[in-house]
Amino acid sequence: MHIKKLKVRPRKVAGQTLCGPQLTSMLSCWAASSDLLSTGKCQDAAKELYECMRTAPTGAKKQPFSINYHLARLTKNLK
């Protein structure tokens, strides 16, 4: 199948995770100490992750275009 004048946008670069370092420190603490309830050594890491997640801004997610939208848009180019 060949479609003339089809434009494909490049993929967006993944953004920086907001609480990535805190999550990494908590997971590594769990792996090192097996403190899965975060009551001992991992308590500080759990508090840092909680505070980060609580104060992190939440972006409004766009709904992805439906397949019907794309089919309707591309069918005029198939003729």
Q: Is the pTM of this model over 0.75?
A: no
Domain layout of the chain by residue ranges: 20-58
- pLDDT 10s digits, 34-69: 877 778 888 888 899 999 988 887 766 677 778 888
Helix, strand, or coil (residue 15)? coil
C-alpha distances in Å from residue 8, one per residue of 3, 25, 72: 12, 39, 16
Residues 6+ apart with CB under 8 A from 23: 17, 49
Q: What is the dihedral of CA 29, 53, 15, 31, to 10 degrees?
A: 10
